[in-house]
Structure formats: structure tokens, C-alpha cells
Amino acid sequence: MNTKIAALQYWLTTKGASLKVDGEPGPATRNAVIETFRNREASAITHPELNQFAERLGCSVRQLATVAAVESAGGGWDNTGLLKCLWERHWLWRRVKIAVPTLSDPKPGGYTVDADGDGINDSWEKLADASMRFGFGIAAECASFGKFQVMGGHWKALGYPSVVEFVWGLTRSEKAHYEVLARYIEVNNLKAALRSISANPADCLTFARGYNGKGQQGYDKRLAAEYVRQK
């Protein structure tokens, strides 16, 4: 018996999946990994809650809205209610040092949405396949999730009890996505950079580099342009 798979199966059953907890990977468990993180009725964040986050971070609601619009096209779920996810094959390579077609590679890339035409985001299928082989914990750390596309690998630094609870929490409400963003900004000392976002790309550069990496690929310009649209 694979104890990691058994533990995952048990956790999935606590969230409503109908599975036999036998520690054996298979299509039912793979499917449950995907379906458990689908929520078509997640509650939207309210204006008072947005104001609370802006006050907590010392920024304007407009600056928060700018980051939200640039990240993940502004939404935290796809049109089927599945939590947004982006599989990063090079992160799995760093963990396991094994090349697996579509799942693990030293170089970033291989991003697809629905290459097999089955209506399920390919990133979730890759995450589910990696979970069957390496365990959900490792797999979920190798993808980014939600409205603000935060990597699962940050779960511990952000104060979550486990990566599975980090991802599960994001499925519950839009407010949970802003909580992840707020923690990420606080942990990485980006509050001042967030407050600097304006219509000038130069003012957005520090946040762009801090949030999206030094090779931020025009993120500063996208923030500035979106800030203007949020007027």
C-alpha cells in the first residue's frame, strides 16, 4: 500500500469523494483530485472585505484591483468552477530530478490549456498525474493557484497547515484568495511596493520584480496600464 495515496484518498473522502481507501493510484482517485477542487458556488469578495484588505496592506482598493485584474485575468476559477491552476514542470524537476513527459523538465514551458479536448484544464490533469506518481504534497507545490497565482510551494511560509489545506481553502471563497495575496505581500515585504503602483511603469517596477521575479517580462507596464483602466 502506498501510504501517501491512502492518506490522500482518505482526505478526499472527507471532502465528499466516493473512494476506496486502498493506497492504490487509479482513475477514480485521479478524477477525485480534480473534482474536489471544483466549486461553482464560491462566494465573491464584498466591498467591505476589499476595504479591510486595502487597509491592512496600506494601499488603495484601486491598487488591489489593479493586481487582481493583471493576475489570472482577474478571476480565481475557470468557467467550470475549477480553481485556476498553472502547472510548472520545472518546479517538479527541482523536486524529483526525473524527466517525465509533460510533467517534469529542467526547462519551464509546456503550458497547455486543453490539448486533449476533454474540457478539463491540462494543468489539473498534470497535477493529478503527478500526484499519483509522487504524492499530492509534492505535486501541489509545483503549481500556482487561484486569482493571484501563488505557488503551492509557499504554503508553509504563508502560515498554512499543509499544501492541501492551502489549495482547498482557495476553493471556498474569493476572500480566501485575497488572504493568500495579503500574506504573500506581508511575508515578502512588498507593502511599500504595492502602495507605489500607479500609471507610471517605473512606480510599478519594484512590485513587479518582487511579485513576478526579476525577469518580470513587462509586468510593470501591464500594472501601469491596468491602473489607468481601474480609474
Q: What is the mean pLDDT of residues 208-220?
A: 85
* pLDDT tens digits for range 76-120: 999 999 999 999 999 999 999 999 999 999 999 999 999 999 999
The per-residue pLDDT for 215 is 72
Which helix (H) or strand (E) covers residue 89, if one does? helix 89-96
What is the percent of the chain where pLDDT is above 70?
Answer: 99
Distances, alpha carbon 123 to alpha carbons 95, 98, 130, 142, in Å: 18, 18, 10, 10
Distance in angstroms (rounded) separating the CA atoms of residues 195 and 174: 22
Distance in angstroms (rounded) separating the CA atoms of residues 122 and 165: 22
DSSP code for 105:
-
Q: What are phi and psi of 67, to 5 degrees?
A: -65, -40
Distance in angstroms (rounded) separating the CA atoms of residues 117 and 148: 26
Residue 231 has pLDDT above 80, yes or no: no
The per-residue pLDDT for 184 is 97
* pLDDT tens digits for range 144-196: 999 999 999 999 999 999 999 999 999 999 999 999 999 999 999 999 999 99
Residue 59 has pLDDT above 80, yes or no: yes
Q: What is the mean pLDDT of the chain?
A: 94
Length of the chain: 231
Distance in angstroms (rounded) separating the CA atoms of residues 51 and 45: 10
The per-residue pLDDT for 212 is 86
What is the percent of the chain where pLDDT is above 90?
Answer: 92
Residue 216 has pLDDT above 70, yes or no: no
The per-residue pLDDT for 73 is 78
DSSP code for 146:
T
Q: What is the mean pLDDT of residues 46-64?
A: 97
Model confidence pTM above 0.85:
yes
Distance in angstroms (rounded) separating the CA atoms of residues 227 and 229: 5
Ordered by start, the domain boundaries in the chain are 1-36+85-145, 46-76+154-231
The per-residue pLDDT for 217 is 80
The per-residue pLDDT for 200 is 97
Point out which residues pair with 144 in neighbouring strands.
86, 151
The per-residue pLDDT for 197 is 97
Point out which residues pair with 85 in neighbouring strands.
145
Cell numbers given for 137? 504534497
The per-residue pLDDT for 55 is 98
Q: What is the mean pLDDT of residues 206-215?
A: 88
Cell numbers given for 122? 491540462
